[in-house]
Structure 1
Amino acid sequence: MRTFSITLGAALLAGCGAPTLQQQPLDLPAAFKEAPAQTAADGTRWKQAQPAEAQPRGEWWLAFNDPALNALIAEATAANQNLAGAAARLRQARAIAGIAEADRIPQIGLQAGVQRLRSSPTELGLPAGTPVAPQTLYRAALTASYELDLFGRVSSNVAAARGDAAASEASYRSVLLSVQADVAQAWYRLRATDAELATLDQTVRLREENVRINQRRFDLGDIGEFDLSRARTELATTRAEAVGLQRQRTNTEHALAILLGKTASGYTAAASPLQDGLLMPAIPAGLPSSLLERRPDIAAAQRAMEASNARIGVARSAMFPALTISASGGGLSDSGGDVFKWSSRSWVLGALMSMPLIDGGRNRSNVTRSEAALEEAVASYRQSVLVAFAEVEDNLAGLRILENQSSEIDAALQSARRSAGLAQKLYDAGRSSYLELLDAQRNLAAVERSAVQLRGSRAITTVALIRALGGGWQ
């Protein structure tokens, strides 16, 4: 994809419709820097961008092979309030588009009523003071009106409303993707915290065992009070860390409850520690940047540009004549039984053309405002594209770095376990101090927590990449 095109076209109708917009395209790469590029069979790596926000993204979360996550996302999709609000906004936008579409066809109505009136003698051409009896008039009529779209006002208004509806649909998909990704990230953040708590629980049990051993040795006079006090300090410190981590878990659980459309007090997630060896979805090499064409926020920005472009046509048409044809026909009688007789018929047929002569520059200013709104929409679109590329690159780089970190931390974990085992044996044999044992155990606990945190970070970053790509890479 040599360009991420932002060229929009619309018919220029009678010199006043929505303009054909030509903008300098964004010169963007065909593939992401963090993903090895793939070359097409013909040797090229570039292609013209095509809107693809309607492409199915699939149930990307199934790639994690996590039944609990599948159930949570299904629950959030059905009950999340932000998503419900986005769906309501989409229905509103579609209804507004329907209102605009209605101007394309004649408007037909029915009138029926009764009037009691007394006319002035002067109105009837009679001498002043002539008695005039009150009248009761019955009316029944069909009315019709239709605006000829001479200068594109109706068609431009319809195009703008359709663009707004398409933008609302893309925004709904953006909210849907965000809700699904937020649920997945909250779930794996919760599981990573559970795994950290499990690691801390093991450390607490080790510290408790150290306190018991040191208490026994202190009672026997083998060690001084210093070693016993240090063991008790380490136990209390580790317990405090576990309490602090419980607070973090509680906050994550509450955030997940909101995503599921539940009250924080009415939702409890069972502990589900993130296990070592969790298989993450494999990221294919050579991810094409055309995947970003599916991103719903980029699609929404595109549709907003189209709507803004159409509104220029609406603003321009206000400077030209508007022609409306109207007709009315029915019966008018002083008796309800005679209103439908042929002799009581009445009709009106007319055409009304109106246009501004002096408006103090109102319409010209409205055109200028519409043109400036389009420039804003174009800038917003370009910014969305740039941000999208940065987010994908950030997460690809993050996964690459996390993978390297995981390799290193695995090696460190093996060494730390070996060191802790040797330190325990030396201490038991009286060949090293308690401080040396404590240092080795503390180092092992820190490395174990780092390994757990890296597992959680990899899962969360994988979800972030899927979100940045608009819903996976299929």
Structure 2
Amino acid sequence: MKRLRLRFTSLAMALFLAGCAVGPDYQRPDAEVSGAFKEAFLSPEAARQWKMAQPAEALARGRWWVIFNEPVLDALEDQAMSANQDLKVAAARLRQARALRRDAESDLLPTLDAGFGPARQRQSDAAQGLPEDANNSAQTLWRAQAGVSYEVDLFGRIASDVEAATADAEQSAALFQSVRLALQADVAQAYFRIRRLDAEQELYRRTVELRGRTLDLVQQRYDEGEISELDLARSKSALSSASSQALGIERERAVAEHALATLLGKTPAQFTLEPEPLGRVSVEIPAGLPSSLLERRPDIAAAERAMAAANARVGVAKAAFFPSLTLTGAFGYESDELGNLLEWSSRAFLLGPLVGTVLSLPIFDGGRREAGLEKARARYEEDVAAYRQTVLNAFREVEDGLSSLRILKDQTQVQDAAVRQASRAAELSLVQYREGSVSYLDVLDADRQVLVQQRASLALDGERAQAAVALVRAIGGGWDADRQLAANR
């Protein structure tokens, strides 16, 4: 009965010590979250649609780019997802983090190994209780045995290490999603930039044709002696200037196409995008509730998981101040002759470490453990500040996107009016020039104003498309893209 009570007492003591974890419990620090976005001006219907989507960081983002209704962009995004090298780097890092988590989890289980081989040894006479002149020669001892070792997690060191490795793996998963979202946005923005340049190339093509016809008119009037050579020289200069600017647009487009090829995992020689002028992008992208941004943004999720890992490593550093208990044992066979090794009489076992002690208690290490704990706490404080800064940046990016789309929409309407007025002024100046009431300098000035206003209009169209992509990226990716696409048709 006494022996049974002793066993129960030992078991209860082991369970009590195993529950004495010293690591701090993790609680996500608060971050400033406003009640609404300052720049959001959504209709009640748009707000309801967004709430119905129930976004969360763990959910798949989907093919959010389909809201632009660009089949070529859809194909480019698919190519990038399968061939981009930066995405493959992020995927490999995620696999590394998950492997490290499995490595940490292995410490929760005992290790078992086996060995076979001879050992040449000679024990001292005193250790065997023999006289000094005894015949004590060296002998060869054969062993075939299995060994087991298990560290009892008395103060939660292993559990904290596993918690940190798990948070690291989750951080890597969030970073992978962040890289993936950034790649999708980069491809979309590069695509719309090329389409804007295509539109500018088309604009300059028409401008060169128009100025070519104007030059023919001026040349005819010069040949008839109606105007001086000055007007002819000005007309030729305007045509050459438009041709030169067209070549500059062509160079810029080539560079943009090369950059897009790299995003797709191809060399520039392997990729060509057929020209197609950019159409006006008109999609409504709801920003949702500010609190949902903390759930959707993968970079915020990564920063939060970094905090959790740092908090767990504070527990690892604290556990270093407490004793560690390692249970070891070996069992098998040993014999001075190989032929007798597997006989029943050759069996042997050992409980306890071959070297050292079962229970170790740190006493003095020159301040190493204190420094380790201070480092862990400082790292946690660093990650808390980085998390809060990431949240602030996320809200700034959403507000930037909302204000950009709202203001660009109004600016585009004003710019369209400017294009119409400039075109009308150019028509009137050309008519008056033919009638001889104005000089050719007035015609050139009106023509330049048309080109300037048209380029500004195309630039705004490109900015609206890229701002829409930037806002999708800022809110953490897509939502119910199919329903949004149907609403925009």
Give the alignment's TM-score, normalised by structure 2: 0.87
In structure 2, runs of 5+ residues without a counterpart are 1-17, 46-50, 481-489
For the residue of structure 2 that corresponds to 1:114, the secondary structure is strand
Q: CA deviation at 1:21?
A: 4.8
Q: State percent identity of aligned pairs.
A: 47
Deviates further, 58-67 or 330-339? 330-339
| 1:322-341 superposed matches below 5 A | 322-341=324-343
For the residue of structure 2 that corresponds to 1:409, the secondary structure is helix
> Which of these residues, 460, 463, 478, is aligned with residue 472 of structure 1?
478
Q: Are 1:454 and 2:456 an aligned pair?
A: no
Q: CA deviation at 1:207?
A: 1.7
| CA distance, structure 2, for counterparts of residue 168 and residue 441 of structure 1 | 56
> Which of these residues, 405, 411, 417, is aligned with residue 405 of structure 1?
411
Q: Give the structure, 1 or 2, with the largest relative contact order (CA under 8 Å, sep 6 or more).
A: 2
Contact 1:254-1:264 at 8 Å conserved across structures: yes
Q: CA deviation at 1:39?
A: 8.6
> Which of these residues, 364, 372, 375, is aligned with residue 369 of structure 1?
375
Cα distance change, pair 131–265 in 1 and its aligned pair in 2 (3 A): farther
Contact 1:280-1:462 at 8 Å conserved across structures: no
Contact 1:188-1:459 at 8 Å conserved across structures: yes
For the residue of structure 2 that corresponds to 1:103, the secondary structure is helix
Deviates further, 425-434 or 321-330? 425-434
Q: Are 1:26 and 2:6 an aligned pair?
A: no
| CA distance, structure 2, for counterparts of residue 268 and residue 56 of structure 1 | 31
Deviates further, 50-59 or 99-108? 50-59
Partner of 2:162: 158
Partner of 2:484: none
Partner of 1:391: 397
Contact 2:423-2:450 at 8 Å conserved across structures: yes
Letter in 2 for 1:273: P
| CA distance, structure 1, for counterparts of residue 19 and residue 424 of structure 2 | 80
Cα distance change, pair 252–39 in 1 and its aligned pair in 2 (3 A): closer
Contact 1:51-1:299 at 8 Å conserved across structures: no
Partner of 2:300: 298
For residues 268-322 of structure 1, the C-alpha deviation after alignment (integer angstroms, 9 at most, x for no partner) is 22212113xx3433223x6211331210000000100000000000000000000
Q: Are 1:171 and 2:175 an aligned pair?
A: yes
Contact 1:113-1:138 at 8 Å conserved across structures: yes
Letter in 2 for 1:287: G
| 1:58-77 superposed matches below 5 A | 58-77=62-81
| CA distance, structure 2, for counterparts of residue 222 and residue 413 of structure 1 | 32
Contact 2:281-2:464 at 8 Å conserved across structures: no
Contact 1:31-1:37 at 8 Å conserved across structures: no
Cα distance change, pair 15–330 in 1 and its aligned pair in 2 (3 A): closer
Partner of 1:234: 238
| CA distance, structure 1, for counterparts of residue 26 and residue 414 of structure 2 | 56
Deviates further, 416-425 or 88-97? 416-425
| CA distance, structure 1, for counterparts of residue 28 and residue 138 of structure 2 | 68
Partner of 2:428: 422
For the residue of structure 2 that corresponds to 1:150, the secondary structure is coil
Cα distance change, pair 93–122 in 1 and its aligned pair in 2 (3 A): same
Deviates further, 256-265 or 372-381? 256-265
> Which of these residues, 89, 97, 103, is aligned with residue 101 of structure 2?
97
For the residue of structure 1 that corresponds to 2:365, the secondary structure is coil
For the residue of structure 2 that corresponds to 1:326, the secondary structure is strand
Partner of 2:15: none
Q: CA deviation at 1:22?
A: 7.5
Partner of 2:91: 87
Partner of 1:439: 445
| CA distance, structure 2, for counterparts of residue 51 and residue 157 of structure 1 | 31
Q: CA deviation at 1:77?
A: 0.8
In structure 1, runs of 5+ residues without a counterpart are 1-11, 41-46
Q: CA deviation at 1:429?
A: 2.5
| CA distance, structure 1, for counterparts of residue 234 and residue 281 of structure 2 | 40
Structure in which a larger fraction of residues adopt helix: 2
Deviates further, 14-23 or 398-407? 14-23
Deviates further, 300-309 or 212-221? 212-221
Letter in 2 for 1:291: S
| CA distance, structure 1, for counterparts of residue 42 and residue 437 of structure 2 | 58
For the residue of structure 1 that corresponds to 2:358, the secondary structure is strand
| CA distance, structure 1, for counterparts of residue 453 and residue 281 of structure 2 | 21
For residues 373-394 of structure 1, the C-alpha deviation after alignment (integer angstroms, 9 at most, x for no partner) is 1111100000000000000000
Q: Are 1:215 and 2:219 an aligned pair?
A: yes
